[in-house]
Amino acid sequence: MSRHLISIDDLDRAGIERILDLARSFAEVSGREIKKVPALKGRTIVNLFYEASTRTSSSFELAAKRLSADVVNIRSAGSSVDKGESLKDTVRTLSAYDPAAIVIRSPWAGAAQQITGWTDAAVVNAGDGKHEHPTQALLDVFTLTQALGGLEGLRIWIVGDVLHSRVARSNILAFQRMGATVTVCGPPTLIPRGIESLGCAAQDTLANLGEADVVYVLRLQQERMQEAYVPTLREYAQRYQVNRARLREGQIVMHPGPVNRGVELSGEVIDSDAALIDAQVKSGVAVRMAVLYELLVGAPVLQVVA
């Protein structure tokens, strides 16, 4: 594995499996009463979040703390970023604290890659624009592996606003790398031209949803209507909502959160046993512990330094 985690493309199948193995042991730690291990004691991790985030930022924070790292959380609101400081200057300032890792969430594609040139810290991409969200994909693979034993041969449908989804892009890559076949489905306005070049199939309707073993539902942002991607939430829900009537027995449903209950997913599905949504959130901490451990301890070069 490279020194940073920017894209799922940084990982081959063996790399993903190594993180899954690590995550399994950290999940076990998370089940103990004392949920902390000393792996990163004395090292600093900076969480640099330029976008509001609940799930990702809290789970990265918890993951770092459970590895005994010192954690600094920077959010754009109220920080020097708000005062017009450039990304480069912010990263250089924070790097003066000699952090072992910088976890960055940015509204701009490529930001995580870009800051690797400005810091000695390992960089973890916690979402860059609509580009990628690799730790989400890893926790989704982990969750599916825990539930089903593996992804080999699975047929996975990713349903919804693929155009604006970094989760979709990372998951298409990760699911395929682990042996699944992926179909994306959504209104033609929200399926990017050329997406098939990633190796997935594309469908305009849910007519063949029955073939899916796993249905991965994406969030529909409310503002997509103003931009005329969809006429109304009602029409979207009529055509693309994943609900009990559209699911068959045995299909698994996932969602990266936060869910618009009653829009892309019906309430009864969210609350049913078919949904792995809570398991996904729970996996988040263990998988992010695994990623930080792999980057900061697992890599031989850094082991010498540590």
Partner 1 sequence: MAETRLHRRPARPAELLIRGAHVLDPRTGIDAPHDVLIRAGTIAELGAPGTLSGSSETPTTEAAGRHLFPAFVDPHVHLRTPGQEYKESVETGTAAAAAGGFCQVIAMPNTAPTVDQVSVLDALIGIAREQAVVPTGFLAAITVGLQGRELTEMAALAEAGALGFTDDGRPLVSAGMLRRALQYQRLAGGVIALHEEDPALSGDGVMHEGAVSARLGVAGIPSISESTYVARDAAIARHEDARVHFQHLSAAESVEALAAARAAGARVSGEATPHHLTLTDEDVRGLDSNLKMNPPLRAEADRRAVIEGLRSGVLECIATDHAPHATHEKEVPFEQAPMGTTGLETAFAAVYSGLVQPGVLPLALVVERMTAGGGLYGLPIPRIAVGEPANVVLVDLERDRVVGEGGYASRSQNCCFDGRRLSGVVELTVAAGSVVFASRDAGITTLTEVS
What are the residues binding partner 1 (CB under 8 A)? 86-88, 106, 108-111, 113-114, 128-132, 164-166, 169, 192-195, 197-198
CA distance 244 to 204: 20
CB of 176 vs partner 1, minimal distance in Å: 13
Tracing tokens 């559209």 back to the chain, one arrives at: 246
CB of 132 vs partner 1, minimal distance in Å: 7
- If residue 43 lies in a helix (H) or strand (E), which one and from where to where? none
Residue among 219, 211, 210 nearest 186 (CA): 219
* Closer CB to partner 1, 108 or 225, in the complex: 108
CB of 89 vs partner 1, minimal distance in Å: 10
Torsion of CA 225, 229, 234, 236, to 10 degrees: -150
CB of 218 vs partner 1, minimal distance in Å: 13
CB of 117 vs partner 1, minimal distance in Å: 9
* Closer CB to partner 1, 15 or 110, in the complex: 110
DSSP label of 161: -
* 8 Å CB contact between 44 and 120: no
CB of 109 vs partner 1, minimal distance in Å: 5
3-state secondary structure of 266: coil
Residue among 222, 113, 240, 214 nearest 164 (CA): 222
CA distance 265 to 12: 32
* Closer CB to partner 1, 109 or 148, in the complex: 109
Cα distances (angstroms) measured from residue 54 to each of 51, 169, 185, 227? 10, 21, 27, 26
* Closer CB to partner 1, 167 or 237, in the complex: 167
* Closer CB to partner 1, 118 or 299, in the complex: 118
* Closer CB to partner 1, 9 or 271, in the complex: 9
> Residue 258 — φ and ψ, nearest 5°?
-75, 145
Chain centroid to CA 266: how far? 22
